[in-house]
Structures are given as structure tokens and as C-alpha cells.
Chain A
Amino acid sequence: MEVQKTALYNYHKNLGAKFVPFAGYEMPIQYKDGIVKEHISTRTHAGFFDVSHMGQFFLEGDETLIESLEKIIPADLKNLKVNHSKYSFLLNNEGGIIDDLIITRTEKGFCIILNAACKENDIKQISQFLNKDHKHLLNDDLSLIALQGPKSVEILEKLIPGVDNLKFMTGSNFDYEGEKLYVTRSGYTGEDGFEISISNTKVEKLIDYLISNEVKPVGLGARDTLRLEAGLCLYGHDLNEKINPVEANLKWAIAKKRKEVGGFNGWEKIKNLLVNGSEKIRVGIKPDGKVIARENTKIFSSDNNEIGFVTSGTFGPSVNAPVAMGYVKSEFSEVGTSIQLEVRGKKYGGKISELPFYKKSYVK
């Protein structure tokens, strides 16, 4: 398959981006400043991220569309208000997570933001439940820009008046340069911020404005350290088709009503796990020293029994310490439990930690 590029590819190049292949796209991993500076400037000022590789999937239809989607998504879509968003998943028959996503109610239906690596399969899976009256479109004419950090609201409000009225996980249409664009107050860094869906033809102009307001470009490298400090999962690492929402410690994302009534893929299994608990569960992990426990690091109990594995691990620049997430047997999941991490054949001490590592500052 040919490597794809986002509309901003040349723009990134001019900004000094280093590219890596990611989910079939050439994406910036970092710019000239490097990962730590990009991370810190997002936490202290604002950063922008080109996340146009993610799928912007629009669905339209009558009431039966809600019924169809609720078979594969365990959110309460019936009661989701227009312009409100929820974090949810696509589930398989075993309750495994096919993808994690943000779904927003639109005037005519829904918009779902899908992970780039999963989007083709996601659409296949969703389509199984759709009927001929349901229209759907993966819109490649749109870019998606995340603007994240404490100064985001001040900067974007000057360009697009009204965005400061948005609450976390809500969105609205705005006028920009004679076009409509859609802005949600959301993100993947633990900071206040926005995701802006904008046509490929106008996106450079938006970025020009952000840069003129000292918003730094941020690559996938810092996106990863930011989201990990915020305790947020990365699909394909912390989540996959063999992991269900209870194991992933994401049962909060299954709507209360749906937990009781069910009617979605894998409910039988999930219902049982909600009552009895799961064998393993996702936890935060803090190594005692400076050692970084990266993905696939084996986790041992203090008496040397293997109890799990790391799914994401890095150095957290704002925490100023290594941080990780992984799965351990549930009896070892209590915060403060001492564990050992096997790195390069040597065991290092660590502890089960609260998530997030870095306190979120969403505007609710």
C-alpha cells in the first residue's frame, strides 16, 4: 500500500519535522525542538497536533441508526444530545475492543473519530449493522487539528469567537473564512483544548494563525508522553481485540443504562465481569528509580512471580520521572503495591500507581 500523507505534509516538512511511518501515513514524530520541549510547551502554553490521519466518519439516518450503532457501541446514544460527545468503543462478540473512539451527535446523525490504523476495519464492522437507509462517509476532505494547552482557549477565541463557551466533550459549528468548521472541546493530552475539523483547503491558514500566536507544532512523540501522563490508552498497545473494557479499567465508559439492559456485542461476558471482576486489569506503574519500563516489560510480584506486562512506558517530562501502564493480575492492582519490572534482564522495583500521573485540567 502506498504511504499516505496528510494535507499538511509539506507544511510539517518546512517546520523541520522528522517523519515516521504510522498507520500507513508519513507522520511527524517530532520537530526541531524535540519531544521534551514540545511536551512542556503544550502543558505551559499551547501546542498543535495534526491528527488528520484519524478517521472522521459521518453517519446519517433515521432512529434505526441509533439502534444499529448501539449494537456495537456501548454508549447511551439514544440520550446523547446534539453536539455532545462520548468516549466509547467498538466491541466484538467477546466484548473485546475493536477500537476506541469519540462519538458526537450531529444534527443528522453521528460523527465518529476513529484511530487511523483501525479505520478501515472499523467501518467494515460498523457497516454490518447498518441498513440501506443509513448513509455513511469517511471524509478525507477534512483535516483534524488538535489544539491543546492552557492558552488554547484564549488563542482560538480570538480567531473563532464563541469557542470559549464550549464545555468539555461538547462541540459546535463555527464560521471560518467563509466555510463551516466543527470544533469540539476535547483532546488527548490531559490539558484543556480543542479538536478542529477543517477543510484541507483552509487548514494551512489556520496553522499560520496558530504559529503566529506561538503555538508550537507537536509530533507523535510528545503526543505519546502527554497522553500517557494523562493516563489515556493508546489503541494497539494498551487496548486490543482481546482486551475488554472491564480489564482495561474503562467500565466507566459503558453507559449505566447499557450496563443494565445490554443489547450490545459481548454484553453477556461483560455483565459477568462487571459482577465478578476480571482476572487482569490495567493499572498505572511508577518505577522507583529512573529506569524506563517500556512496552512488553515483564512485571513480577515482590516474591518473584510473574504477574503481568507493561503496555506503554516512557519518561514523563511533566512528572519528571518514568511512567508506565500495563496489565497485572487483579489481586496486585491496588495502588501502592510493590512490584518488580524486568528491564534488560535485571529486576527493578516499582509501584502500582494512581492514574492519571498528571492531573487533568478539563473545562467542565
Chain B
Amino acid sequence: MSEKKFSKKHEWVSLDGDVATVGITKHATEMLGDIVFVEVPDAGKAVEKEGQAAVVESTKAASDVYSPISGEITEGNKAIADDPGSVNTDPEGASWFFKLKIKDKGEYDSLMSKDEYDKFCKENPS
């Protein structure tokens, strides 16, 4: 498994061969608050870089989750749909959102490193 890369929309990606795993960052869960609903995509769905791929809702509001990378979904994490609160406890581990077969590794390479992302969050507080 490769190192995690990060998007400006607060998703993380790790890469294993040509299969990427995508989730939302700890920072994102802290902004969202208590997560109470998650909808993940079905296998076979094609997603574009920065296209809407999943939904996450907190007690406050609904937000789209975007795929930081183009490809075809191979699996949505049904466990988090059954237990949305688990996204708050382990957002960057067991509570990933979906896996997809990627087309262009360049899209992965262009994402932010952990340090770059932390800096980005500091400079863009919300």
C-alpha cells in the first residue's frame, strides 16, 4: 500500500497496484461533526476526478464526497453505511468509503502529501 495522498476537498487516497482506496480525512470529520448517514457507490459505477461519488451527512447537513481520482468503483464500504458513526472514530482506517480501479496514476501523484495537506488545512480554516 502506498502512502496516503490528500485532496483539497478533504478526501484521502491510498494506492495498491491500480486500485485506490478513498475516504474522508479526520479533519473533514471534525468539521462535519456527528456522522449519521453515509451512502457509498455500487461496484461498476464510473467516477470522474472531482466528480460526486458518495454522500455523508452529519446531524447538521448533507455533503457530497468527491472522488479525487478517475476510475471504476470496485467496492463501496457497506460497513460504514450500516454504522455511519464509525466514520467519526476511524476515518482514515477501517472507515474508508470506496475502492476504485484507476485509469491515470498521474492524478494520484498530483495530490497533496500529508505535510502539504496539513498546511493547506491550517491556511484554509473553516
Interface size class on chain B is 10 to 19
Nearest-neighbour CB distance to chain B for A91, whole angstroms, equals 33
| A344:B33 contact, CB within 8 angstroms | no
Interface pair A291/B37, CB less than 8 Å apart: yes
Which stretch, A3-11, A28-36, A258-266, A274-282, touches the partner chain B?
Answer: A28-36
Complex Cα gap A211–B58 (Å):
27
- Is B57's beta carbon under 8 Å from chain A? yes
Min CB distance B113 to A, Å, is 29
- For residues 263 through 305 of chain A, which have their beta carbon under 8 Å from a beta carbon of chain B? 290-292, 294
Chain A residues touching B, range: 10 to 19
B-contact bits for A17-30, CB 8 A (1 contact / 0 none): 00000000000011
- Minimum C-beta distance from B81 to chain A (A): 7
Q: How far is the CB of A124 from chain B (nearest CB, A)?
A: 33
Could you tell me if A315 and B62 are in contact, using CB atoms closer than 8 angstroms? no
Q: Which of A221, A291, A344 interacts with B59 by CB under 8 Å? A: A221
Q: Which residue of A lies closest to B32 (CB)?
A: A34
Given A221-B59, A290-B84, A294-B62: A34 in contact with B34 (beta carbons within 8 A): yes
- Chain A residues with CB under 8 Å of chain B are 29-30, 34-36, 221, 225, 290-292, 294, 314-315, 317, 322, 344
Which B residues are within 8 Å of any A CB, using their own CB? Answer: 33-34, 36-37, 39, 55, 57-60, 62, 81, 84
Q: Given contacts A290-B81, A292-B37, A292-B57, could you give 16 more A-B pairs where the C-beta distance is less than 8 Å? A: A29-B60, A30-B33, A34-B34, A35-B59, A36-B34, A221-B59, A290-B36, A290-B37, A291-B37, A291-B39, A292-B36, A317-B34, A317-B59, A322-B36, A322-B37, A344-B55
